[in-house]
Structure 1
């Protein structure tokens, strides 16, 4: 009989490492999950009822489970190998570091580091509630990088610090399973009976609801709640109107028309879902409406609106501590204070969205009020949708807009008044300098004058070669934690290639390259065997951002504009080269874009 074992990994890398070793534990029936302290404790009663024999976890999470569970718990230790690898990585850091943790970990690391003549500033804590004060003291001392356990690292990131997790390697995981095996045989008589869980219906993908004329919901399915992120069924009506503030006006107008068949169509605030409302015929002479919510198809919309949080989570906090980033941040904050609008420009991947996310945190803007708007094609529909978003936005929100130059010049002339009357803060993002866009006929002169009051230029990596090494270390430590690796640096050949590489995708390309290399690495260093990874990342970057399909379901004039826009992007917005490729003279090309 196999040992039914639950592994609770406090961080993703430990989950990945344990899963990769699962085949070596053929006498175990494994369930591997990722969970922090609160998640683990909330779920522990459920797992006890499912008949597990033993739990394997790490650090404080393991200690808390021991105190709150009837099941035996085996702890994954931090081995000497783990400590050596950690010190090898930390000794190369130029940024000020502080290590925070419990005595048994800190004392072991300090003992080994002193043998290696490496000094690591540290703070010993004895209780979890001491972490916050230790982090504040570390910040006062100038530390930007915090080394510690899962809880310490998570709290460090919440305070805007870079966190490096003290990870457990393969040797520690293997030792824990051997201890679990021995413990199981010693207590093999104790098991819990299995309890069957009720199966939950996945429901339909389309959200459905019935809504009364007074705005109250009479019925809704689970997909409806999921799409609108409504957590409480009792609060469903109120939550719906908070997300669709114009809904009541639409319903009242439909009632006044007294038509037997009324059809309304609108979009949710993210423009990811299309909402169709149909009047319902019933015998009780009530005004009821059927509401259907489904994802928007790619061909239905020329503008994308999404929350930015998911993108921001892919970048470590320490990137925001760079000198040029801080200078740009100060300029942006002052510009937003004066006129509620700033314009950022720079190549793709230079950190414009990261800067916008930092502004959101400094201003305490809620995550759902930071909108990432991309104008894919400057159609009339896209302009109407942007106008609607600006009109319904609230004062304590931020709207980050890309692709503004894709609108027709006559539509751009209307934007200045729309921006001035919008209560939200507005961040405009373009890749080319606004002056160049104006000279190329892609930006209206009056709008250019308004957008140019606060200009922020974010340099590409190749203009900041001195920061490349630090960025590499930042991304290595982030992915060590993510994939359960213990990479300590890069080989000279790889460093040489990195410094000569163009990095056209800048931070995004560097982030993705390091992630793929760390994921594929077999040793403690990124070596030349991993260099082919750069070619695949470059290809994916080019295919993802350099190609856009032409929508043929439009007028010939609009198709011409789309083709010209694509060629202009491929020619770095140089009109002479684009006109030459298309067999046009420059004045004809400019006239087509202007009309």
Structure 2
């Protein structure tokens, strides 16, 4: 025989004990008993309602609150005339004035009883729990020393030092409520059979299903109670607000050895919008903490650093505009730049601004992924490369072997990857003389007709330098609890004269160290020099293109030309970097011309 599954929320412990005893005497019910009054009871019901109960039992104001919060039928345990009469008879032996107070569940029958028996007893009805104390204070001022009440009244009476007797529901009233609950469920037995059959069908599916009410309450779950995975549900909760607003989203997250992918859609029922979530589980290709393969979604990608570093005027502003335009396209994107120029953050920003943002962003660091995992990525049926409408980012693709590059090209062509998902690839121009760099760039630009984003090195962005440092300083002030205003003039000149071989990444960690050790409002030149001395290539003002096979004057001229190029023909900045006067610079240039 199918048992009626009942959730009972008892406002007080005594009722919970009676309910438990009743459950033990009946073999046609499966009863879960929880204790909680009013909002606590409502919250308990909201948390448990989705766990396949047929009906909920509670009492008074708690039952009313539960009924307004959940979709399941709620049976109110009545307080019978007999229950109230019993309380009155008990109070008659009390030497003092008493009143009856509570929600309508008590006071309606109290009025009926007092009218019939012509009892002269004051009766107070609460509209809500907030006004209980004020009502009882007035009663106390009028000479009342005892109140016959429900749980809300008992709590208020206790707060103001007033004696109280709790009007309890007798066993007969509770048994009647249980019987009514069973009868109600049996009367809709056909519907419940349908529900159970659909429940079984969904439970046996490889997928899991969740349905949320318009208010965001979990209304249905196919996940068995003993399988309720805390990490998985926490992941769902992260996106539920977004899911309630926007349909047809896809997010993925790896939990231990599995990847969980969530798909949401909206269902309209009786003019109410419900949110259905389908959960698919697949074996993960890598360990959860593998830095070579990461899964991101729209809410947990990080691109603010890139926006800070590339917003503004001049070259920086153009880069930001290009990123925005590239994001609108479906074409593959090739990102070129030296180490530390923010290629990964640029890829993240393209994703966040694109039409692909409601599906996952898969980041693959080609310098960290091993051969076996690379093989799985291209051949495993659970590979993220088989997804649709997602974004895949091959970071540091020039770290791949020529054989791996050939396999990737073949996979892209044979599976029509670029028609299914957004492809983004980054190459480090530090490796531009390597065969892998040229091979990938040629394939991307000539075969895939990709969009190419060139990120300039920091040394070519002198006009943006002070703005970038100001943004980073503000961020480090907040995170480190400092109030650094900026740099001394000489300190900024020292920063500008450095070559910054690792670009924005290097600038950030240098600034963090400077902010950490600086105790004055402005960062001094000595402090900058002390930190920069620890950095690679400090003091170097020329690159490998400078030839040392000429005379000293010819070598000096080569160095001046290079620095002049880096300073965009600004002779004042060039002279300052080289530590010479402008007239000396002018004379050397004139003599060599």
Instruction: Compute the TM-score of the two structures, normalised by the length of structure 1.
Output: 0.40
Instruction: Compute the TM-score of the two structures, normalised by the length of structure 2.
Output: 0.40
| Higher normalized contact order (CA 8 Å, seq sep 6+, divided by chain length) | 1
Larger Rg: 2
